[in-house]
Structure formats: C-alpha cells, structure tokens
C-alpha cells in the first residue's frame, strides 16, 4: 500500500513540474512585474515635455536645386535639423524643358475626314490624324501633304484645347508638304524657323507631335544622317532629307523637328520600319526647302517647278549592247517639243534600235554634267533641278559627234 501511494506522489510531482515548465513565462512575469507602459500615439510632431513648446508640424519642403539645413526651433529643442532634398536638373534636361515651353503652343493637332466608296457603292467616312505647326500670325499652318490629302473636313486643335475649322491653301505631293489656314484671331504663338543647311550629324534633335492622338508629346534624339532619299506612298522620291533617331510614330507626321534653340529644322514625314512601329529610323524634310515651298503655296496655291524636258537613259545600262564612244552620262532619248532642252538645241534620238524586248531611240546627245555636277543616273537631273528655280540658267555639258561641248539652257516651269 505504501509503495502504491509513493508512486502516485511521484506521478503528481512530475505533472506539476511539466505544468510549471509550460507556464514559466507567466510565472516569471508574476514574480517580476514591469513598470506601467503608456500608449504611444504617432503624430507629425516630436514628443516633448509639457514644459517645453511643442515643435511645428512636420512639413515636406519644396523641391530645391541646393542642399540646405534648417535651424532648430527657438524653443530650444536640440538636434531638430531637416534637410531639403537635392533635385538635379542636367543641362540636357534643361534644353528639353526650354524647347518644349518655347514651341509647344505653336504645335497643333490636325484631324481629317475623308470619304471613300465601298464595294456596295456606299460613301464611307474615315478619320485621320497628324500634326502641324503655325508659321505665320495670319493663321498659316505647315504640315505634310499626306496628312490632309483628299480631306473633306479639317479640324485643328490648338494647345489650349480650342478646336477650329481649317481650309486648305495648297498642297505639293512631290515634297509631301501642305499649308492650311485657320482664323488669325486666336494666334498667339508662331514657331521659329531655323537653318537646315547648318545641320551636323550628331546634333541634338527634338520632336513635338501627337503620336496616336496623344497631344503635345515630346521626344528626343539626334541627327543620325543627312542627304537621305526616301520614297513616298505615291512612289515620289524625296531627296536630301534628314534622318533622325528621335521617336516618330503615327500622328507625328507634319510636326516640327527642332534643334536645341527651339528652332524648326525639319518637318517629320515618315519612318523606316519592318514591323509597322518605330524602329529608330525617322525622316524629316529640311526646313529650308519647306520655306520655299510654303511661300509658293501661300502666294499661288501651287509650286512652280523648273524642268529640262528630256527623257534620259544611263549609258552604263547600254554599254553591253552599244558603243557610244563614252562610258558615262545620260543619253537623250527624246527632247520634248518646245521644252527648254529643245529650245537650247539639245538633240534626242534619231534612229530606232531593238534591245531585248525594248525599242529605243539612239543617236541623241549624251549629257555628262549640269552645272559641273556629273550625271550618271536618270534621277540625277531631278535631284539637281530641285535646287533650281524657274528662270535659272544652267550649263549642260554634252557629248556629241565624238566631242564635248557646253550648252546654256534657261529653265521654264514644268507644265
């Protein structure tokens, strides 16, 4: 009996020991009570004794371009020093900001409505968007021809959001330029036109436009190359254009390409892409050419272009079939009757030959140079004439009957 009672006592002691071990933290807290803890309230002020004046509410400092220290309050609170954060604006960022502020008010959004006929002979309206910029306080706006071509309705949205109806003044598909006009009562800002002849590769370039309808978007890049040639949608070749990596997207067409002074140096016109989106290659028409074309469109509604009046073919293309006595130049197949070339005495072909599947008139003069610029491709004449005006005289060097000679030609307006 005694042995059994002893076992029960040991079991009870073991159980009590286990319970005491499990409750050791509570027992320790009971035996060693902590001081009372007051509740803490988080506020925007520092906690100070009642005998002292409370510090001012916590405030966020305005952005500054320098680092400053604010002295402690007069109440004597020590160590209360706040520092204003440093915001650095680089010189490049400053250029971007200044150019946008200077120019954006002169940039406009252009929305057009064109009409087309579907398979069932129903007239279907379609919408288009582009960009333009104000070049004169009389309300003239310069943009791309393809932005407003065939438009039945043109709505211009100014930088302040005001919408105005615009009327076409003139278009030129050969340069992809057009001028439209709005009421001059609302004109406050005009874009400053620069000098595209002074451009250099690597120079900073900025664009302001309305890509995908997102008004007054600024993008930046550089002049990537000069004197590029591009083909328009109607297969017209435009030479001497500016290449830039400044992002240009649908809706940017017709907007200004700018230099670091905020001067317009080009009109954004197209991009090169294999995906349909921007890939770092954009093109702009030089502003110096645009000035001349815009002036003609405003004064007469059209562009008077000079012509020579010849149908040429490169001698190098025929060298494997015929011997002309010279291995370069442009053979005049035909000189149009009454053209500047015809009046100056340039001769076209006088006998026909068959080369492959083609009939060709040969025996005419071979143009080797115009104004000391060598001619080797049929497009060389067009490129040179783009730099000339109606009434200009050019010196045409030709090869005739085994010898070179110079023929002066006065350019007239292309019919």
Largest Cα span, the chain: 150
Strands 282-286 and 306-307: unpaired
Contacts of 313 (CB under 8 A, 6+ apart): 330, 331, 333, 360, 378
- Give CA–CA dist 407/395, Å, rounded: 6
Query: Who's near 188: CB < 8 A, 6+ residues apart?
Result: 105
**Beta strand segments in 232-388, E:** 237-244, 256-258, 264-271, 282-286, 306-307, 310-314, 330-335, 351-355, 358-362, 366-370, 373-374
Strand pairing report for 217-231 and 204-209: antiparallel
Among 162, 163, 180, which Cα is nearest to 171's?
180
Catalytic residue among 104, 175, 176, 224: 176
Interacting residues of 159 by C-beta distance below 8 A, sequence separation 6+: 104, 105, 106, 107, 108, 189, 216
Residues facing 406 on adjacent strands? 397
184 a catalytic residue: no
Burial class (CB in 10 A: 0-12, 13-18, 19+), 179: buried
- Dist CA 48 CA 272 (whole Å): 67
Annotated catalytic residue 104? no
Catalytic pick from 175, 196, 224, 253?
Answer: 253
Q: CA-CA-CA-CA torsion for 229, 231, 232, 236, nearest 10 degrees? A: 100
Q: Is 146 a catalytic residue?
A: yes
Phi first, then psi: give them for residue 46, nearest 5 degrees.
Answer: -75, 145
Active site positions, annotated: 146, 176, 253
């Amino acid at each position: 009996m005694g042995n059994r009672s002893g076992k029960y006592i040991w079991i009870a002691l073991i159980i009590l020991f286990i319970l005491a071990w499990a409750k050791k933290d509570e027992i320790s807290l009971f035996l060693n009570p902590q001081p009372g803890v007051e509740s803490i309230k988080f506020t925007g002020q520092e906690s100070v004794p009642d005998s002292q004046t409370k510090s001012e509410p916590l405030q966020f400092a305005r952005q500054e371009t320098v680092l400053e220290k604010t002295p402690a309050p007069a109440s004597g609170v020590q160590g209360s020093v706040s520092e204003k954060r440093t915001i650095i604006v680089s010189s490049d960022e400053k250029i971007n900001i200044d150019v946008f502020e200077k120019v954006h008010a002169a940039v406009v959004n252009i929305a057009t409505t064109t009409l087309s006929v579907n398979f069932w002979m129903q007239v279907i309206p379609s919408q288009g968007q582009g960009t333009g910029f104000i070049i004169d306080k009389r309300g003239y706006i310069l943009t791309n021809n393809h932005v407003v071509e065939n438009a039945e309705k043109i709505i211009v949205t100014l930088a302040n959001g005001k919408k105005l109806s615009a009327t076409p003044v003139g278009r030129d598909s050969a340069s992809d330029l057009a001028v439209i006009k709005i009421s001059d009562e609302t004109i406050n800002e005009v874009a400053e036109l620069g000098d595209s002849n002074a451009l250099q590769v690597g120079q900073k370039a900025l664009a302001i436009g309305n890509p995908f309808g997102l008004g007054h978007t600024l993008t930046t890049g550089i002049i990537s190359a000069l004197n590029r040639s591009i083909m328009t949608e109607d297969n017209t070749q435009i030479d001497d254009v500016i290449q830039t990596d400044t992002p240009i997207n649908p809706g940017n067409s017709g907007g200004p390409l700018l230099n670091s002074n905020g001067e317009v140096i080009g009109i954004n016109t197209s991009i090169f892409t294999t995906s349909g989106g921007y890939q770092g290659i954009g093109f702009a028409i030089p502003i110096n050419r645009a000035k001349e074309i815009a002036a003609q469109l405003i004064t007469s509604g059209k562009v008077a272009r000079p012509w020579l009046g010849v149908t040429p073919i490169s001698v190098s293309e025929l060298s494997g079939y015929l011997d002309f006595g010279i291995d370069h130049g442009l053979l005049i197949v035909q000189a149009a009757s009454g053209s500047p070339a015809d009046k100056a005495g340039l001769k076209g072909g006088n006998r026909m030959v068959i080369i492959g599947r083609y009939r060709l008139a040969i025996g005419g003069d071979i143009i080797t140079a115009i104004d000391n610029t060598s001619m080797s491709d049929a497009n060389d004449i067009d490129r040179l004439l783009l730099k000339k005006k109606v009434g200009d005289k050019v010196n045409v060097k030709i090869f005739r009957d085994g010898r070179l000679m110079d023929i002066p030609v006065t350019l007239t307006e292309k019919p």
